[in-house]
Structure 1
Amino acid sequence: MRGPGAIVANHASWLDIFALNARKRIYFVSKSEVANWPGIGWLARATGTVFIKRDRKDAANQINVFQTRLEAGHKLLFFPEGTSTDGLQVLAFKPTLFAAFFADGLRETMRIQPVTVKYLPADGVDPRIYGWWGDMDFGPHMLATLAASHQGAVSVRYHAPVQVRDFANRKDLSFAVEAAVRAGLSDDR
């Protein structure tokens, strides 16, 4: 995707950061608590992650931060599900962060590219092996994933970008990109 834009993807695991950053330089958007998590927090800070507070009172500030970064040419990536999953499903997208894309100066030029991240385990391996969700501890999950005797693969599918100006509001935009991401997860590849 060329020009001003952001990327939205489903979120299955801490592995998503590596899978999505491998192809192009992007800046992740994450909840502020992640900055202080052992291991992942350091990685997030080192890669220029934009940390936001999940508080409606801070919504205007978040829009300003997004707008500043987007106008500087940064490609922001966020996970609108708001949490990670087992990798076999896409949760409903939360439309709140999409409001930033409707700001004056962005709406007319901004594009959003939906991306589906799909983990493909080796034959006979639990298809949820790469998912990191719920109250799973990071350390044991990372070790189990890296030590698995049969490694699978990851597929990153970039769907056609959509123009923000083609949508009446953040909810319509959110539903459209969610549908693209969800369809990509159900594709047999």
Structure 2
Amino acid sequence: MTKNRVIPQMFDVRPVDKSGNLDWGKINKVEKILKIGDFTAEYNRKKEILESENDRIRTEMVKREELELRIGRLEAELDERRRKEILWKKEKNESRVAEKSFKQEEKKRRLKEFSDAEETKKKIELASVARKKEEKKNLEARKLAEKLRRKNERISRKMHKRMQPGYFSFGDMFDFSGNMPWGGSRKTATVFAATLFVVVM
């Protein structure tokens, strides 16, 4: 304890006794009061600091909670985005697989159509060739039938003439093939007919 301590003017009192000497009892009491005042001021200062620190901590906690909430929202958004991305990739993959399968089926269908078209074309060509052959065969058959009909008509006319009374012809000496009925070639028959004609003339 310092004896030369200056007493504040707020007390406005001289700590002396009746004989004029310093009253250390009062001085000590004042010292205690001053110490209590200092302690109170220090306590109030520390209390203010503590309250300020508490306010800062509460503010930090609020900010931390807000940050955690924001982080939670961002994580939820990120999870949702990842889920949508995975779903989109899955759908895209399925769509790609479906498109690939569709293209393969379309390719098979076109190949089958082309093959069927080629086969149909070959069948048409074969049918056309067969029809032409049949037409040619029918034409040849008609020509042969017409030839036989004319030959039969010619033979019928000759037979009809021969059946008429008084009919005679050098052709009677030959058969329908141009040969003589009693044998000999066509050349011999021609020479014989010419000789007979000269003799008659």
The interval holding the TM-score normalised by the smaller chain is: under 0.3
Structure ranking higher in helix proportion: 2
Larger relative contact order (C-alpha < 8 A, sep ≥ 6)? Answer: 1
TM-score, normalisation: structure 1: 0.16
Structure ranking higher in strand proportion: 1
